[in-house]
Each structure stands twice: as C-alpha cells, then as structure tokens.
Structure 1
C-alpha cells in the first residue's frame, strides 16, 4: 500500500512539473487594442508594426521570453475598446498596450489597472492619469500629452511669434494640447478654436485665420484630420504667408507623403525624428523600411521603444507576470536603449526626456522630412506629477 502511495505521489509530482513546464513554455500574451480602421487607422498600423518589429528581431521573443500579440481594432470607439479590454481581462491577459487616442485610453485603463494588471501607453498620456489619478500599474512610454505643446509655446517664443491663433479637436488630448501651449507661450492668443475629432472640411477655420492675420498658427490635428487641414491650408495659400507650428504627430511621415509639398517650411516639435543621426535610429529606420516598405512614423518609434521597455521587464521576471511588484520595479528602472536617447521615469511613471524644434525640409533623396533645428527643452518633466501621490 505504501509503495502504491509513493508511486501515486511521484506520478502526481511529475504531472505537476510537466504542467508547470508547459505553462512556462506558453507565450506571454499582450493585449494590443488600437485603431486600425477609420482614416486614423494608419496610426494603429504603425504602432502595431513598430511593436512587432521588435518581436521579429527577437525571434518571437521580448527579453528572451516568447510573446503573443492579441490585437483588437477599437474603431476609434471608447466603448468598443472597453469591451475588448474587458474580454481580455476576463481571459487572464495581464499586460496591455496599443491605444492611440486619449479618449479611448480613458475607457480602457481603469478596468485593466483595477484588475491588478499592467498598462503601458505607446502614445497618449492624458493629464487625468498623470496627476491625482496616477496608478502603480499604469506607465507611459511616449510623453504626457502636454509635452509637445508646452515645447510648442517655447518654440513660438524663440521664433518671435507674438500673435498666434491656436486650433485642436474638441477632446481630451486637444484640450490638453492648447492648455499646454498657452502655459509657455508669452504672446497673445488671438483665437482658440476647437474642431470636431473627425472633421474633414476646415474652410471656415481657414477663413477665420486669414481674417485674423496672426504671426503664426499652432495646430494639433492627428491622422486624417491633420492631412486634410495641412492640404487645405496650403491650397488656400496661407502656408507661404502665415507660418504653421505643430507637434510632430500632426505631420508625421505618412502625413508628409499624403500632403505633398504643402507642409514644406512648417515647424514641428517632438522627441524624435527619422533624420536623427544616431546608430539606433539609422538601424530602426532601415529595418522598418525593409520589413514594411515604408518610412516609420513617430508612432512606430514609440511602439518599438515600448516593446524594448517591456522586454526589460519580462526578462527581469522570466516572463512571470504574476510577479507584479517585481515587474513594475523593473519597468521603473527603464533599463533599455531608447531610440530617442534619454529616457527616465518621473514619479508619476511618465517620461523625463528632451524635446526638439524641427523644420520640414527636403532631405538628400528629395523627400520631405523634419530636420532638427535645435533642442529646446532638456529633461522635460510634466507639471501634473506634483499632484501624483503614487500608491505602493
């Protein structure tokens, strides 16, 4: 009888060990909810492809850990994104990224973090999660939404613009954008104009700009709206008489191609450019072009950096995301090489990084690209961190 019990116990131990080994071999699933449809779908494509490039380079692994991207299209609808996230949470997925609009992010993050799982933003950094509602399970790989825009205000001052009209879509990121610009701009804001998120015709706004005759405009319109705005602005002849200043994601590589020569001479602010002359950027741009047959946008770079950051965390816990505290501690170290150069975390788990002023000019091959004029902000820290009392 004793021998039978020993055999049974041994068999059970072997079965448990086999089950544990099988579980260890399963890839870590990463919930990747993003916008792949609508005119803004190319942003989600670049986020997905930038992230996947890092996975491909790692042979299907991040930090030596096999991973599987579970991709869902949110259709730019917060409710759809929340439903997708809820399904993934219920299925046990512990790590999330990919959302590219602030209003969608606001619908996804609370459910993920409440479940005790981790969300790392590839793109939006709304103020609501940077201050009083900061969370130990929420990290940002890109920027706090205000960053490009406070840099925009500084750039406008340095460029000598005294009277400016400012425009953005009427949603969280748009309101954050103009608030950020006004925080650092020292001149006069002649008009603060809010457009619809999915607007395609800007003739009324352009007519108003013409009548105001500002020194320049500052505008934030991502994706398809930004393409339409820039083309219509150029076609109206204002591009040659009233300079345009904008965040880099309002005139990314895909938008430059779509707008032709309309954006030449426009100014942008940002954390990175395809024209940056460093080995990491040169390799990333070439690898992305070879793999996807197009020039990467800032979104692709941010997603690539996100993947490398996640790799550092997965390596630290050997892919075991049940070790949540250890995974978070590893992420806080930010032990990876960012394509943008400097990258550290503030107390609210948003980046500390440099920002640059760029001008859209013809590159050696004749194509338009943002050329770095100069660094305008060093070690930028968002102002909301002071209100963040990070729970343990």
Structure 2
C-alpha cells in the first residue's frame, strides 16, 4: 500500500473546478510524519493539527489555496530521505513540515536545506540542529529536545531527590532528553539505562528500579513505549513508592491507553490543553469536536506551524519564489501562538515558556495533562549560542 496520501483540495471538496493555471498556483506543503508502527499516534496528532489549522484558515495559507501531501516516514531514516527527495523533486513542495523523531529529522535535514526549502519541525529538536549544524532554512515550532526534560531535572533538584534512575530509548532524542535532565539535576544518577527504540517490555528495567530503590525515576518513552512502561510500572507496585517523572511519556497520545495508571504522574511540557488563552481554548474545543480526542502537544505545535506559514506568506504577499525572503519572513513571523509567548531565536527554535504538568481525569471522563506551575519563562535552549558562533 502506498504510504503517500494527498489531501483533497478544498475547492474539490466544495464541488468547484479549478483551472489548470489556478491549480499550479496552489501552495504545496509536504507533511513528513510517523504514521505507522507503535508511535503512529504521534504523527496522527501532528497531521490532524496541521490540517485543522488549514481548515480554520479557510483552506488557504497566506491567501493561497493549499495542497497538503502527507507522507509516512515509517520511522526509518533511509525511507524518509527517499520520500523527501520525492517531495522536493517530483512534487516541488514549498515547505516540508515534520517529522516526529530526531533520527529522521537529522537524516532529511541536508537534502531539504540544500534545496533552500523551508523545513519546519513540529516535534523533533535534536541538539546538533539547534547548535553547530543549525541552518537558516530549518525552524522548529516545538522545542529543543533537552528543554522539557530540563523541567523535571529542576523539579527533582528542587524537591531534594538524592538518587534518580534514568531511562530512555537509545537514539538521539533519548540521549538529548537525559542530557537535559542532568543539566538541571545535580544529585546521584544510580543508573542511566538505554533501551532499543520501540521496546515494549520493561520488566528487566523495573526489576532494577525495585532493587535500587531510587528517590525517583525520570524517563522519556514516547508513544507505545510510554503506554507499556506506565502500565507495567503501576502493575509492579512502583508508582506508589517511587515518583515517576517523565516527558512525552504521559501525554494526550498515551493517556487514552494509560488512563488511571498514569493519573498523578508529573511531566514537563511547553503546553497543556488547559492552558488559559483564548486561542488555545478555541483550538482544543475544535480539535475535540473534529477528532473526538484531546489534542496532544504534537497537534498544537503542528497547528502553530500552519500559523507561521500563513503569517510569513502574508508578509511576502503570498510569494515563495524568493527563498531568502521567505526564510526571513518565517524568522520574523508574527502570529498568536496557541501556547501564548512565542518567538523564534537566532537558531530557528522557539523562545517560550515551560511547565510542570500532571496527568488528570476530567469531569467528562477524558484524560489530559494539566498545568501545575510554570518552571521556565521565555526560555532559550542551551545550544543557541553554538549556532551563533558558527554564523
């Protein structure tokens, strides 16, 4: 089965016929996301968030009709590179938006930026792309990978936890995540364990945790990995004895499966569904009405990516042919982010707020994360200075 799906144009959906000349004027956006395997739900939220934004903007970005081309990268860097080349050479997209995972983000970075095509990550934020390998055509509407993990490092330090067990998948984002935690936590690391990507059985790690009796564990396990880890942690009787701190392990993509097993667990994030801004309230209501699920940060960041493109194109009069001018318009894009405070730093990553959030059950029976406190205000990532040093 082909993993490429082209969304139906809004004119077609309304029963209108566009002339060939008008069809050539459509803005083309390639969405490169993980849409299969245990972590597919992450890509689905990102896809749905972007498409909801386009719908809310009347099917246009910067005044131009939009064709969104959705690609499944299959969480395989080599597959992603091949498909990105198709987006660039065959489809001639104006923007590439995505991906979810950092190993894919790094693999496709060179072909996209070499083509001077604007590349907007809606999730992955590897340290090298924020630092020495930064590029003026690469932006992120998410975060640098370390940052949400730093929230928990600071929380663990402030709460006086003396010994912590660390657990993450063995790939770039996992390493960045634990590096972020350790940047803020100065206590003892009793174990730093890396599992193969897409590990679903954590019994050996849980046995170690039970025997070591740390003051807390910190983990980064997105998607299906996080679902299984939380359930197994609760079933092992550890949740009531050893605090479970995480980022992207307990969120709106995993909570529908984790449910009560995750309630009360703390995480770090740049956003939560209950964030009190008018734009966010409208977004959450619209997303739930459209998809019958609570949106995750992946959806929010993807929605914001569409708003960035819309704002930049308004500044260029809808033109994309002058790529340098388009890149500069993205850098300076002014829009109302769903998360509130937002601006791009010199390395193309957001300067934004970060929060401690907690998993909760809502009165309507759905589960979501909710803000406990703001931990960082207008926070710039630790690698931005390395980007500035190379430019």
Q: TM-score, normalised by structure 1?
A: 0.92
Q: Compare the two structures and name the one with the higher helix fraction.
A: 1
Q: Unpaired segments of 5 or more residues in structure 2?
A: 1-18
2:132, 2:390 within 8 Å by CA — same for their partners in 1?
Answer: no
Max Rg structure: 1
**2:81 and 2:204 mapped to 1: Cα distance?**
35
Counterpart secondary structure, 1:265: coil
Q: Unpaired segments of 5 or more residues in structure 1?
A: 1-19
RMSD: 1.7
**1:391 and 1:176 mapped to 2: Cα distance?**
21
**1:343 and 1:40 mapped to 2: Cα distance?**
27
Partner of 1:159: 159
Partner of 1:47: 46
1:213-241 deviation digits (Å, cap 9, x = unpaired):
01110000000101111110011110111
Partner of 2:131: 131
Tell me how far 1:95 sits from its aligned partner: 1.1
2:25, 2:64 within 8 Å by CA — same for their partners in 1?
Answer: no
- In terms of mean alpha carbon deviation, does 169-178 or 286-295 score higher? 286-295
**1:361 and 1:97 mapped to 2: Cα distance?**
31
Give the paired residue count. Answer: 372
Partner of 2:32: 33
Partner of 1:185: 185
Partner of 1:16: none
Partner of 2:349: 350
Partner of 1:97: 97
1:156-204 deviation digits (Å, cap 9, x = unpaired):
1223322110110000000000011111102111110101111010000
Partner of 1:274: 273
**1:106 and 1:156 mapped to 2: Cα distance?**
30
Over 3 Å counting, the alpha-carbon distance change for 1:368 and 1:160 in structure 2 is farther
**1:345 and 1:102 mapped to 2: Cα distance?**
20
1:96-148 deviation digits (Å, cap 9, x = unpaired):
01210000111111101011111010101101111111111111110001111
Over 3 Å counting, the alpha-carbon distance change for 1:367 and 1:159 in structure 2 is farther
Tell me how far 1:25 sits from its aligned partner: 6.1
2:54, 2:60 within 8 Å by CA — same for their partners in 1?
Answer: yes
**1:33 and 1:88 mapped to 2: Cα distance?**
9
Tell me how far 1:315 sits from its aligned partner: 1.6
Q: Which 4+ runs in 1 deviate beyond 6 A?
A: none
Partner of 2:7: none
Tell me how far 1:207 sits from its aligned partner: 0.5
Partner of 1:371: 370
Q: TM-score, normalised by structure 2?
A: 0.92
**2:287 and 2:343 mapped to 1: Cα distance?**
25
Partner of 1:243: 243
1:28, 1:68 within 8 Å by CA — same for their partners in 2?
Answer: yes
Partner of 1:310: 309
Counterpart secondary structure, 1:238: coil
